[in-house]
Amino acid sequence: MSDDIKKGLAGVMVDETAVSKVNPETNSLIYRGYAVQDLCQHCSFEEVAYLMWNGELPDRAQLDAFTRQERGQRGLSDDLMQVIRRFPKSAHPMDTVRTGVSFLGMEDQDTWNNDPADNYRKSVAILAKTPTIVAADYRIRKGEEPIAPRDDLSFAENFFHMCFGKVPDPEIVKSFDVSLILYAEHSFNASTFTARVIASTLSDIYGAVVGAIAALKGPLHGGANEAVMHTLLEIGEPEKAQAWIDDAIDNKKLVMGFGHRVYKSGDSRVPTMTRAYHDVARHTGGEKWVEISRVLEKTFIERKGIHPNLDFPTGPAYYLMGFDIDLFTPIFVMSRITGWTAHVIEQLADNKLIRPLSAYTGVAQRAVPAIGER
């Protein structure tokens, strides 16, 4: 293969961005200049969402106005609720949320308007309504009635309320909020790049988010948080962890939740999320999963030099919070909407159609034979 070809676009710098910076040398990640760890410590997910779109953290009045705007749009139309009720019960929630967001695009009278102010309005609407889609579908699939959103609860609290009919202790809510902040943005990852490619054609922001959801579904990207929990359940008990991971390494198996295209010596988000996971485990009596995770992490780093990524602590944390495994990636969607849409707005501010080249390796040009001569 020619040296000009950068398979998977690995190492290729395709554009500028002011949204976030991933720095593999220092294991750091900043959103609009702020380190994610600091944002997790000092801010709510709503403040981070505002930051993503506006470039600055909100003051009190701005946060109040933003909160009112988001909370006021959490409800879904009767038409969309009816569609959700008719989704196949066997469908993966990533497929249902993808279809739900697509429906939101059809309902918006101004879908084609790519004015930045209108795309900001749509971004807040998608952020507000997507958890309602995910939670309604979750309950209907289980044969339960959906629970209407509440406008007196935070983004994180309201999601628990819509899924389970109650809000857990503040420690659990905080850990969930931290996971949302950490999942919000990560520069030109596969789903964000998908969203930017779609936006670059001057298609609409709903379509860009729908495409991004499809990209995030894959197990090499967002789907890894679900796969991590399946691995932990397969291992089952801490005593079995060492043999399992040794066997996986000896047999060159892909172990989900490890490795990263950009970070090669540790994912900057992992320490913060690991603390949140341990908090949840202490609170819910889930310490055995922490023990299993420790064995996998230690062994994989020692024997392979490969570190865990954010999905490694997030998967079991969501499990211990009570979410079904197939809901993990839709939760990732709920958060990453902020990053995707910020990138779409940025792409459109200085747009150039994204259209790379390919090296043809097929048959050389030839004449079309008559049908009797083929």
Catalytic residue among 137, 267, 311, 343: 311
Longest dimension (CA), the chain: 77
When the beta carbons of 73 and 189 are compared against ligand COA, the nearer one is: 189
Q: Rounded to an integer, what distance in angstroms lies between the CA atom of residue 149 and that of residue 170?
A: 19
Minimum gap (Å) between residue 314 Cβ and ligand COA: 10
Candidate list 15, 92, 95, 221, residue with the active-site label: 221
What is the CB neighbour count within 10 angstroms for residue 22? 20
Q: Which is nearer to ligand COA, 74 or 343 (CB)?
A: 343
- Residue 110's contacts (CB-CB under 8 Å, 6 or more residues apart) are 118, 122
Choose, from 108, 137, 161, 260, the residue flagged as catalytic: 260
**9 versus 148: smaller Cβ distance to ligand COA:** 9
CA angle, 82 then 99 then 132, to 5°: 60
CB of 168 to ligand COA, least distance (A): 26
Shortest separation between residue 177's beta carbon and ligand COA, angstroms: 20
Instruction: Indicate if the alpha-carbon torsion angle 103, 106, 108, 110 is positive or negative.
Output: positive
Least spacing, CB of residue 309 vs ligand COA, in Å: 4
Site of interaction with ligand COA (CB under 6 A): 220, 224, 254-261, 306, 309, 311
116-122 contacts, C-beta under 8 A, 24 or more apart? 116/345, 116/348, 116/349, 119/205, 119/341, 119/344, 119/345, 119/348, 120/53, 120/345, 122/205, 122/206, 122/341
Which residue shows structure tokens 């040296």?
3
In the three-class reduction of DSSP (H, G, I as helix; E, B as strand; rest coil), residue 39 is classed as: helix
Task: State the burial class of residue 350 (Cβ atoms within 10 Å of its Cβ: 0-12, 13-18, 19+).
Answer: exposed
**CB burial readout 108-130, b (16+ within 10 A) else e:** beebeebeeeebbbbbbbbbbbb
Which helix (H) or strand (E) segment is 14 a member of? none
Question: C-alpha angle 105/151/340, rounded to 5°?
Answer: 40
- Return the H-helix or E-strand segment holding 257: none
Minimum distance between the CB of residue 224 and ligand COA, rounded to whole angstroms? 4
Closer residue to ligand COA in complex, CB, 36/224: 224
In angstroms, give the least distance from the CB of 36 to ligand COA.
14
Using Cβ positions, the residue closest to ligand COA within the complex turns out to be: 259
CB of 108 or CB of 311, closer to ligand COA: 311
Residue 350 token pair: 């200085």
Catalytic (active site) residue 221: yes
Name the residue nearer to ligand COA (CB basis): 75 or 218: 218
Residues noted as catalytic: 221, 260, 311
